[in-house]
């Protein structure tokens, strides 16, 4: 039996803009800022002022995630990486690098400024040299 072959069609590929590291960090903090459902319930219950709501709000404590006893020795916690490196890595995640076009523009600006300043220093040096030789030494 001969099977009919379907014509091959190419799909249009749409490239999405890559999310920057700063945008990802902002998105993760926005997720963390949302109050959990239980807090919303207890907050609304505390506004009503009945005894049940006050009992709920008094005894509710959020779960702490950093209280695990893993890695403790004689009551002291031991970190695998020093806090300096952890904090440095967090800072590096927030760095946004300029585009190639911006880097090219800024590089040209630095070269032009350097050339201008070198020219000014050279002209001033030449002027003071002539002033010193012609006016002061004569």
Q: Are 83 and 128 part of one and the same domain?
A: no
Q: Are 27 and 92 part of one and the same domain?
A: yes
Q: Write the pLDDT tens digit of every residue in 106-118.
A: 999 999 999 999 9
Q: Residue 25's closest CA among 90, 88, 81?
A: 90
Mean pLDDT value across residues 49-68: 53
SS3 state at 72: strand
Gap between the Cα atoms of 64 and 55, Å rounded: 21
Q: Write the pLDDT tens digit of every residue in 69-105.
A: 555 555 555 556 678 888 888 899 898 889 999 999 9
Write out the residue range of the structural domain in which residue 107 sits: 98-138
Gap between the Cα atoms of 49 and 110, Å rounded: 66
How many Cα atoms within 13 Å fall on the side-chain side of residue 60?
A: 16
- 63/10: higher pLDDT: 10
Q: Write the pLDDT tens digit of every residue in 12-26.
A: 777 777 888 888 888
Q: Are 48 and 88 part of one and the same domain?
A: yes
Instruction: Give the count of domains, the chain.
Output: 2
103's tokens: 């880097």
Residue 59 has pLDDT above 90, yes or no: no
Q: Are 30 and 87 part of one and the same domain?
A: yes
8's tokens: 């091959």
Mean pLDDT value across residues 41-58: 56
Please give the pLDDT value at position 129: 94
Mean pLDDT value across residues 21-49: 67
Report if pTM > 0.75.
Answer: no
Q: Are 89 and 120 part of one and the same domain?
A: no
Residue 30 lies inside a defined structural domain of this protein: yes
Q: Where are the alpha helices (DSSP H) in 1-138?
A: 21-33, 37-48, 51-59, 83-93, 100-131
Based on its alpha-carbon atoms, the radius of gyration of the chain, rounded to whole angstroms, reads: 34
Angle in degrees, CA 17, 22, 26, rounded to 5:
105
Give me the percent of the chain exceeding a pLDDT of 90.
25
Please give the pLDDT value at position 121: 98
Q: Are 86 and 42 part of one and the same domain?
A: yes
Please give the pLDDT value at position 114: 98
């Amino acid at each position: 039996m001969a099977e009919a072959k379907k014509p091959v069609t190419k799909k249009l590929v749409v490239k999405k803009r890559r999310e920057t590291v700063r945008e990802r960090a902002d998105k993760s903090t926005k997720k963390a800022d949302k109050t959990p459902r239980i807090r919303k319930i207890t907050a609304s219950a505390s506004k009503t002022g009945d005894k049940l709501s006050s009992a709920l709000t008094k005894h509710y404590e959020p779960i702490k995630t950093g209280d695990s006893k893993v890695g403790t020795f004689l009551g002291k916690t031991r970190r695998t990486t020093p806090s300096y490196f952890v904090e440095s890595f967090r800072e590096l995640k927030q760095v946004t690098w300029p585009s190639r076009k911006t880097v090219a523009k800024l590089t040209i600006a630095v070269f032009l400024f350097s050339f201008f300043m070198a020219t000014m220093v050279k002209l001033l040096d030449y002027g003071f040299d002539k002033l010193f030789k012609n006016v002061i030494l004569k």
